[in-house]
Structure 1
């Protein structure tokens, strides 16, 4: 159930990233109307959605690149959220100095990191499920 919910979120973010970005701005910024997004902001959100979808659909087949990226990003967000928040803001917005981040953005970034790690965990084989072995050597 949770896997399907995360897959749906990834598909929605991939198809329509703007509402997701706008919701995050309303939630995380005191002055969301002051944002000046860079053109690549929508593509960054789509990439996140694509990684979710790819990891959840292909992760059981051994897609290690996407799960490794999500796992690394999730771990860093949990341990060191502030530098990642600052980096992501500089990639997404032209006017980072003018943006007023709400006080609970750091805990929210940690929760996002946990979400990434959850996607990685859900992408792993379950109860002995493993990719089919190659029978050529037998």
Structure 2
């Protein structure tokens, strides 16, 4: 069930990334109405959604490189969120000096990192479940 929800979220992020970015801005910024998005921000959100869908549908078959990169990003976000927050703000917004972050931005970034790790774990687990089902079917 969780896999299906995350696949659905990834599909929404691919097709309509703006509402997802708006939600993230409301969660993390005091002044979301003052932000100036770079054009590539929407493509970055689409890429994130695509990675979620790719891994959750294809599992390890999809790409071990993609799994490793998402796991690395998740681990860094969980352990060292502040540098990633600063980097992502520079990549996503034109006016980074004007951004006023909310006090819970670091826990929110850690939660995003945990979400990345969850996607990786679920993609691996789906492969293990499929292998077990194949073994049961041949027995």
Q: Deviations over 1:92-119 (max 9, x none)?
A: 0011110000000100100100000000
Using the TM superposition, give the Cα deviation of residue 76 of structure 1 relative to its aligned residue in structure 2, in angstroms.
0.4
Q: Determine the C-alpha separation between the residues in 1 that align with 2:94 and 2:130.
A: 48
Residue aligning to 2:54: 54
Structure 1 alignment gaps of length 5 or more: 133-138
CA distance in 2, matches of 1:128, 1:24: 34
TM-score, reference length from structure 1: 0.90
Task: Kindly state the Cα deviation for residue 26 of structure 1 after the two structures are TM-superposed.
Answer: 0.9
Alignment gaps of 5+ in structure 2 = 135-139
CA positional deviation for 1:61: 2.0
Partner of 1:135: none
Deviations 1:51-110 (A, max 9, x none): 001111111425212211110110000000000000000000011110000000100100
Q: Which runs of 4+ in 1 moved over 6 A?
A: none
1:4 alignment counterpart: 4
Measure, in 2, the Cα distance between the counterparts of 1:98 and 1:127: 48
TM-score scaled by structure 2?
Answer: 0.89
- What is the root-mean-square deviation in Å for CA atoms of aligned residues? 1.5
